[in-house]
Structure 1
Amino acid sequence: MNKETELISKLKSKDYEIRNDAIEALGEYKTEEAENALIEFIVTSKDPFDIVTANVSLGKCGTQGCIPYLIKLLLHPNQDVRCSAIHSLGILGNSTLTPVFINALNHRCPVTKAYAVSAIKKHGDETAILPISDYIKKYVSKKRKIQADPSPLIEALKFLINFVNSNEEVKKTFSYVIKKENNVFRNEKHWIQNHIQKGN
């Protein structure tokens, strides 16, 4: 039994640490066997902690073949499972996944939304302009108590800035953000002043 086969066999261990170590290690094996074992694992496992680790490993060793399975996890009730799936989709995917990321942006969970924003910043096309604009307007419409890192607002604005010279909706959104800049955190306000206001 080689090392990879041994790791795959450990996915069925009842010991969490053994199982988790095997899941992490398989992420370093860029083979069809490792990917298939991890896919089977995220499909059958009931443990959200294990699934999160497997999602991250698939982001390291996976191919286009695991994308449909990661997409299904965007409906998972656990926030960390959803977010880790979006994160790995952001690594493995491209602009064809823009509709998937836009759909995740509609989730009621703010953390899931934030991960979707980052994925759209990386891969989104023009179809994401209106959804991201709507997200930004809602984000700046009121003051928030919890500051995320990275800021989903800055991530969203970085996406829109690519279209500022060709899209009127982007310009309107930027104008609205400037009016509401007192509702955002200091680092967000600083970014707005340096990248949006100076450009107007």
Structure 2
Amino acid sequence: MNKDELIALAEQMSIDEYVYDEELGHYTSEGSPSDLAYEIARRFQDVQMFPVLMDLLEQTKRLDMKQYFYFMLGTIGTNTGDLRVVDLLLERLAQETKPTLIVDILDELAKQEQVDDAAAIIKYVEDSRSAVRNSAIEALRVCRGDAVEDALIRFITTSTDSFEITSANFVLATIGTKRVIPHLLPLLDHPKGDIRHSALNALSELGDDSFLPMFLKALEDRSVDVKAYALLGIAKHGDASAIQPIIKRLKTMLKRQRQIQSDDALVAMRFLNRYRQLDKTIPELFDWIITKRWDVLFDEEQQWLNEYRTSH
């Protein structure tokens, strides 16, 4: 696309129109000019647009138009993996001063395959504006290195914002190394369940089977989410010593009809299935679930048990 076509597309992206969908029973923007324009932009792969988009970003004064051009630039990088997009976005990050545009650039950086120089992102992790901090933390997910780890370690040990600490913990689960572990352990005693479960998730990703006692203890946590991540940790690092705690947890889950669907019971059953030849209480448990608790199971759980039943 040439300059005029890109401007026209950006203008179309700003046209939000909603129509009432009688079948869905609510208003939707699907099929609106904006929706169609975004669909076109999401397919961009032409690296020849780089200089045109950079010129447009330099020339335009409208904040919303800049947002659309950043979206286009970031999309090309996502679709092609061209690392020049990272350099161009970092160049613009150093120039923009409006929080909205800083957030947009950080969000586009977060969608890229890799960012080698994270210094420009790290400085925003402790920004006074929460939206900027949140986007910076997410952008570090595609970064690596001691400086990135140090910034996130400093953040999770000094911040008082539970949502942001949780986000940082999940990023550390993706990019962290074992040196992060000592800084995550104290968070297991944090009063906020979100922080406890995100720290547990990171320890599951970064730790080893020596952490099994910690995951077993977390099965007794008052938070359902902490229990869920404890199950995942046990599935990854557990051994036969976890059989009875898992059976206990599974029976508790299936005592009544659950309101929110999750994979917890499937995780538990798949773990137990590894040891069905070693412990006779496991096939007995599965038989009990099939005969007595079938009506409280979700479809995927019933499907798994049907497959189990036909293969044994």
Distance in structure 2 (CA, Å) of the matches to 1:106 and 1:71: 17
Q: CA deviation at 1:118?
A: 1.9
- 1:76–1:82 Cα contact (<8 Å) kept: yes
Letter in 1 for 2:290: I
Q: Which has the larger radius of gyration?
A: 2
The equivalent position to 2:226 in structure 1, one of 105, 109, 112, is 112
- 1:64–1:92 Cα contact (<8 Å) kept: yes
Letter in 1 for 2:126: K
Q: Does 1:168 align with 2:280?
A: yes
Q: CA deviation at 1:20?
A: 1.7
* 3-state secondary structure, aligned to 1:77: coil
Q: CA deviation at 1:130?
A: 1.1
Q: Does 1:81 align with 2:183?
A: no
Residue by residue over 1:148-189, the C-alpha shift from the partner in whole angstroms, topping out at 9 and shown as x without a partner, is 2xx200110011111111122323322332232222223212
Which structure has the highest helix share of the two?
1
- Within 5 Å, which residues of 2 pair with 1:1-200? 3-148=117-262, 151-179=263-291, 180-195=293-308, 197-200=309-312
Residue by residue over 1:54-112, the C-alpha shift from the partner in whole angstroms, topping out at 9 and shown as x without a partner, is 11111122111112322322222223222222222222222222111111111122222
Q: Tell me which of the two structures has the higher relative contact order, counting C-alpha pairs closer than 8 angstroms and 6 or more residues apart.
A: 1
Letter in 2 for 1:142: R
Q: Percent identity?
A: 35
- Structure 2: state its 5+ residue gaps: 1-93, 95-115
- 2:126–2:155 Cα contact (<8 Å) kept: no
Distance in structure 2 (CA, Å) of the matches to 1:21 and 1:186: 37
- 2:216–2:245 Cα contact (<8 Å) kept: yes
Letter in 2 for 1:186: D
What TM-score, normalized to structure 1? 0.88
Distance in structure 2 (CA, Å) of the matches to 1:55 and 1:130: 30
Q: CA deviation at 1:3?
A: 4.5
Distance in structure 2 (CA, Å) of the matches to 1:21 and 1:145: 32
Letter in 1 for 2:183: Y
What is the total number of aligned residue pairs between the two structures?
A: 197
Q: More deviation in 120-129 or 168-177?
A: 168-177
Distance in structure 2 (CA, Å) of the matches to 1:71 and 1:174: 35
* 3-state secondary structure, aligned to 2:118: helix
Distance in structure 1 (CA, Å) of the matches to 2:178 and 2:257: 40
Letter in 2 for 1:163: Y
Letter in 1 for 2:230: A
* 3-state secondary structure, aligned to 1:46: coil
* 3-state secondary structure, aligned to 1:143: coil
Distance in structure 1 (CA, Å) of the matches to 2:250 and 2:272: 10
Letter in 2 for 1:36: D
Distance in structure 1 (CA, Å) of the matches to 2:269 and 2:146: 38
- 1:104–1:116 Cα contact (<8 Å) kept: yes
Distance in structure 2 (CA, Å) of the matches to 1:26 and 1:96: 28
Give the superposed CA RMSD.
Answer: 2.1
Distance in structure 2 (CA, Å) of the matches to 1:13 and 1:23: 11
Distance in structure 2 (CA, Å) of the matches to 1:26 and 1:5: 10
